[in-house]
Amino acid sequence: MIVAGRSGGEGVRLVLESEEAMLLSELADQVDSVLLLGEADDPALGRLLPNAYPDDMSASHEFARYTRDSLVDGKRQAAQRVRDATAVESAGDGVVQIELDQSEAWGWLTFLTDLRLILAERVGIIEEGEDTADETRDDYLRAAYEWAGFVQGSMLEVLDPTDS
C-alpha cells in the first residue's frame, strides 16, 4: 500500500494491491455488521459507543437514547464508504487507486479507528504494551490491527505533517 499526498490539492491518495483492497473491504463489511447487529453484550460496542456518564445510570441512558442512532449511522456510513471504495471483483486485478479529499479522509480515519477498537477487543488488547492475547486464535486479527494502525498513521503523516 502507498499513502501519498494528492497532486495539487489537500487530501490523500491511496494505492492498494487488490489483495489489500479485498481485505479492507471485508474488514469494513465486518465493522458495518457489528454496528448493524448491535448486540448489547458485545464488548466491542462498548468501545465504539462508550458510556458518557459512568456514575449516573439515568443520565447515561438518556445520552445513549439521544445520540446512539446518529453515532451508529455515522460509523456505518464511514464503514460502507470504505467497503465500497475498496470493492474489487477478484484478486490479481492489479492496483486500486483511491483519492480522498479532507472530509473523505476523515471518514477513513474514523473508520480505521472503529476497526482497531473492534479488533483490539477481539484480541484482548486491554493495557498498552501488555500482551494477553491468545496467539493461536488471533494472529490474523492482530496483523489486521497492526496494519490498520500503519495505514492510519501514514494517512496522518500526509494530512498533518509535523515538521512543517
Q: Minimum distance from CB of 93 to other proteins (Å)?
A: 31
* Of the residues 1, 49, 87, 98, which one makes contact with other proteins according to CB under 8 A: 49
12 Cβ contact partners less than 8 Å away, ≥ 6 residues apart: 3, 4, 5, 6, 99, 100, 105, 155, 158, 159
- Cα–Cα distances in Å, from 119 out to 3, 58, 150? 22, 30, 14
Q: Hunting for cell 479492507 — which residue is that?
A: 24
Q: Hunting for cell 445510570 — which residue is that?
A: 57
Interacting residues with other proteins between 51 and 90 (CB under 8 A): 51-55, 59, 63, 67, 70-71, 74-75
Rounded-to-integer distance, Cα 164 and Cα 23, Å? 34
Is the CB of 30 or the CB of 51 nearer to other proteins? 51
Size of the site for other proteins (CB under 8 A): 37
Q: Minimum distance from CB of 126 to other proteins (Å)?
A: 7
Residues at the interface with other proteins (CB under 8 A): 47-55, 59, 63, 67, 70-71, 74-75, 106, 109-110, 113-114, 116-117, 120, 125-129, 149, 152-153, 156-157, 159-160, 162
